[in-house]
Amino acid sequence: MRDRLLDSFKGTNISVQLETVNFLEIQPLTEEQLPAIVELDKISLGGLWTLEGYKRELDSPSSHFLVLSGELAIGETNSSLLLGFGCFWSILEEAHITLLAIHPGYQGQGMGKLLLYYLMRLAKIQGMERATLEVRVSNGRALSLYQKFGFKEAGKRRRYYQDTGEDALILWQSGLQSPEFTGILREWHQEISDSLASHGWQEKPLAVNTEQ
Ligand SMILES: CC(C)(COP(=O)(O)OP(=O)(O)OC[C@H]1O[C@@H](n2cnc3c(N)ncnc32)[C@H](O)[C@@H]1OP(=O)(O)O)[C@@H](O)C(=O)NCCC(=O)NCCS
């Protein structure tokens, strides 16, 4: 369609610029996605969990695992690509965020914010009061993302990461059930949509029930 339209202007002095919009979709993890998730884990998290580990997430009722995929328009064909994933465990009224990863080729375009937004929204819907996570002290990008979403430092776990002996910062955010948080979620979503649109991305209507 796009190519046919461009062809129809060839040989004329009319120049045409078509903006490409690629679509993003958030869905719960499915069994078929497991091998691709393990591949993405290797390239974005350095091989944190095995296939068995991810399979356990599928089977666990307290695990809430969201997958971000993209539909890219290339010529006349659309191709689908796994772009990221995030997960939290609900433990009593606390959401423990265990994973957040975006494909290295697509970082810095707002997708990390989008996934975190949907995790927080889902946590609120699931009745969680607070959210918490651990982050390496050296992971400035992730830290700045979490701080932007209102997470506050509450302590440190000394030498928490076995590979480097690095400390983990413990972050918390409370008030997920407050009326203010509903407004904050709405503002985040607008800001995230704008930043994704500036990189040519648009969200598809939700396939997962994360209604507020
Ligand atoms: C951390 C991660 C999930 C962020 O996802 P992302 O798609 O790259 O981030 P976004 O584009 O949504 O940016 C979110 C915020 O992060 C910060 N950020 C993004 N790129 C940054 C950079 N190069 N330097 C510093 N901060 C940066 C900004 O605060 C940004 O918000 P802004 O665009 O409104 O300024 C992603 O980089 C990733 O998968 N990293 C490897 C795995 C990892 O570290 N996971 C977190 C474990 S706790």
| CATH label, 2-11+18-129+175-202, candidates 3.40.50.720, 3.40.630.30, 3.40.50.880, 3.10.105.10 | 3.40.630.30
pLDDT at 1 over 80: no
Q: How far is the CA of 49 from the centre of ligand 1 (A)?
A: 21
Secondary structure letter of residue 61 according to DSSP:
T
Of all atoms in ligand 1, which is nearest to the CA of residue 108? Answer: 11
Question: 18 CB less than 6 Å from ligand 1?
Answer: no
Question: 145 CB less than 6 Å from ligand 1?
Answer: yes
Instruction: Give the mean model confidence (pLDDT) for residues 59-73.
Output: 95
How confident is the model over 152-208, as pLDDT tens digits?
Answer: 999 999 999 988 999 999 999 999 999 999 999 999 999 999 999 999 999 987 655
Q: Catalytic residue, from 54, 106, 118, 146: name it.
A: 146
How confident is the model over 132-143, as pLDDT tens digits?
Answer: 999 999 999 999
Assign 16 a pLDDT band (cuts: 50, 70, 90).
very low
pTM for the whole structure: 0.89
Question: 16 CB less than 6 Å from ligand 1?
Answer: no
Q: What pLDDT does 78 receive?
A: 80
Contacts of 157 (CB under 8 A, 6+ apart): 134, 167, 168, 170
Of 9-13, 20-24, 29-33, where does mean pLDDT reach its minimum? 9-13
Question: 42 CB less than 6 Å from ligand 1?
Answer: no
For residue 211, which amino acid is it? E
Asked if 134 is an active-site residue, the reply is yes
pLDDT at 61 over 90: yes
Q: Catalytic residue, from 25, 134, 166, 191: name it.
A: 134
